Amino acid sequence: MISDEQNPPQKASFDYRQAARRLMSDHGTTIILLLMLVVMAFASPSFLKLSNLMNVVRQVSVIAIVGIGVTMIIITRGIDLASGSVIAVVSVVSASLAHPEQSWPLIVPITVGLAVGAFTGAISGSLVGLGKIPAFIATLGMMIAARGSALIYSDGRPISNFTSSFDFIGRGYLFGIPFPIFVLGATAISIHVLLAHTRFGKHVYAIGGNEQAAIVSGINVPKCLILVYTIAGALSGLAGILLTSRVSVGQPTLGVGYELDAIAAAVIGGASLSGGIGRVYGTVVGALLIGVLNNGLDLLRVDPNWQQVVKGMLIVGAVLMDKRRHG
């Protein structure tokens, strides 16, 4: 008989490769962001200036807010191409109500802007949920219609000269911190709680994971989808108000390409185009990564055309990582 002392049990060896893969899978975007911050700090002495960092986060806040709404849609296995155009139509509508001559209180342009954004989202959600139209087609149609509506409403001309209270939304500071950062923080926390700690949030993930199973389990899929797109539209409206205030003009051409940056932020942040997976935190980090990249390349005076190439490669790389993580 062989005693335990002669044949001691072997200790299980730690698999460093598996641990590294798991770390990159769970926190890869955050790690890449931190590495990029270090690289940019060495590459450009101006990068770590507080004023520059504040400016980066102020600019990122708009994309991040839109991206949070887009993330909800991607979780349901949808896509939103209309967010940039929704920013434009909200921009001209809210700008027209923020004139000092109008004498409207601040709540009016904000409420109307959010309502316009929510309304466009509700239409897209109805087309997807009730009309069974693919999200790509529904939001593509809304993208064109919203842009046209912005041009019609403003007669193709910019709208400027706002009240001081409206200017504060995008350009003001609170406790020395740009006000849009507080708006982003409140938005991110609210949507995180909605997705992670409510029945509605569980339904959103269930629809993205398996829509047929969600239907069988009694989830009202059309109603849920309409609500998801409505919230996403309202967030695009909020982003439109912030951006209009920041640039001090309501433009029917505002928001061009923002839908792509928002989708990129969501995908880079870990949202799966296959549905059922996505986090608010990841999207915010993804937006920060894009913002840091843009700012760093600007400081290094890289040609804007090459910046687009780099951003495109980043998006494709994020999708490839998503495929490897989730098959």
Torsion on CA atoms 311, 316, 322, 323, rounded to nearest 10: 180
DSSP assignment string, 171-190: H-EETTEEHHHHHHHHHHHH
Q: Which two tokens stand for residue 303?
A: 């040609």
Q: Which two tokens stand for residue 318?
A: 């994020």
- CA–chain centroid gap for 119, Å, is 19
Supply the pLDDT for residue 36: 83
pTM: 0.89
Whether residue 266 contacts residue 283, with contact meaning beta carbons closer than 8 Å, is answered with: yes
Mean pLDDT (10-residue bins), the chain, 327 residues = 54 60 66 84 82 88 96 95 96 91 87 97 96 95 96 91 90 90 95 95 94 91 96 96 93 90 90 88 92 85 83 77 63
Question: Which residues touch 1 (CB under 8 Å, ≥6 apart)?
Answer: none
Supply the pLDDT for residue 7: 57
Neighbours of 163 (CB within 10 A): 18
From CA 49, how far away is CA 196, in angstroms rounded? 36
With 0-12 / 13-18 / 19 or more C-beta atoms within 10 angstroms meaning exposed / middle / buried, residue 194 is middle
Question: Which residues touch 235 (CB under 8 Å, ≥6 apart)?
Answer: 65, 66, 68, 69, 117, 187, 191
Supply the pLDDT for residue 322: 64
Supply the pLDDT for residue 119: 97
- Within 13 Å and on the Cβ side, how many CA atoms surround 19? 4
Instruction: Count the residues in the chain.
Output: 327
Residue (of 76, 118, 85, 99) closest to 266 by Cα position:
76
Alpha carbon separation from 62 to 76, 169, 218, 253 (Å, rounded): 22, 12, 36, 16
